[in-house]
Chain A
């Protein structure tokens, strides 16, 4: 029992440290890639090629002044960033980094837990995370914040649906809700080959869930002056920011798990494939951000409801037919 607990604690610490480092450094990747896409250099003054920039930003965040607006709803205002980051960090629990390995006679699984309903857990918790943004915007007593929060909730509801539809198709071909089983079911053939439409759907809806351009409705800088987090300063703002990038990492991990075969890969299976694939997805998130302009709000909504939702349903239907005919 004691041994089990020790292993669990060490594993948790390592998993969270690694994940949060990835989260911190995805901000660096974002700034660097955006810079180079715009023919700039990006950060390069702090450390080698700006490698210490995330740490410097974090330290700066701690020393900034905390501001709470007079007409803010104080308890909610304080709670919102906590909900945001709490939900985002909780999601790391289910990220499957790799398979079982044996170190010094102990069999260690390279994931914190294998929930039977893993993917449902992800969908549920990530929705709770979006409460953070909504409450934050609403409680800050700022009209930009309220509009940002409302837009955020509307978008979240619309795209969560299609996201779930994409996931259902994957669950159908894998036959399990557990992320580990889903990875193991892709040993030979990755799900991206079996489910290309679900992949596209998942990527699009995932970007919308992440509030990334072209779906960054809740924080549209140009229209809403940063939207839901407009009144936040100092570490509270940094928490929102971290939550966003944490979601991005979890999104990358999910795409890897659901479609790209998780830790499987040519030559040796292992966590390195997982991290490589995650990096590719994170790079894609930044790359597409630098490419697309923001869509108009009504376009986002009608795209979600009129195109993605029917598309997702059709995909499920076709998957079902396929499985029926070929008796898989």
Chain B
């Protein structure tokens, strides 16, 4: 049985797809069989971030509707043999996803894989609901910014009430916070909510902090999950995050401003 992990946030553009690609690739790097499923029907992007957009033949909706088998639709990663992507459909709408259909596909994937990551669309409508419904773990991706934090709190409310675990009362979804696009310099100037601020408000365990980094854009240009750029801060921060998820303890990095000589001398 695979563990099903939803990557969710409520708000769009905060880094769910970037995180799904990096985290899923990170689990595969650690030797786990991992599938990443794009739930953003109509706005598929995970294939681009993973660099497999030209190999999409069948998609998630095709499998749900019996037009292709899961084996035909899964795109095996060229870099890592134990990693695969299931693309979202670009031409259908969100109503093509049904709870029964999604459940069937996740069951099939659970037989082959150790982890199944569900990359949620933005919003709290059907696509986002189905992405979280079957989850054992939730990764809530939040930017240190008011609307993102509020939306994350809203999503936490839904995770506690609108998931299969909540309905069956057979345990709860494990919640993990990943703060992305963190800019320590702006935090120390008082322009950006700090890690502590965000944690105080959401009060769920912090799994990782990913700094704002130009490497993320370079990687999406190239179709490389940023965790494979292991010289970059963002890549290393995702590596730490995966390690913590797997139970290793890693200190937080890239969360303090690099201090210049004078500021180190005089504090502040």
A, B assembled together:
no
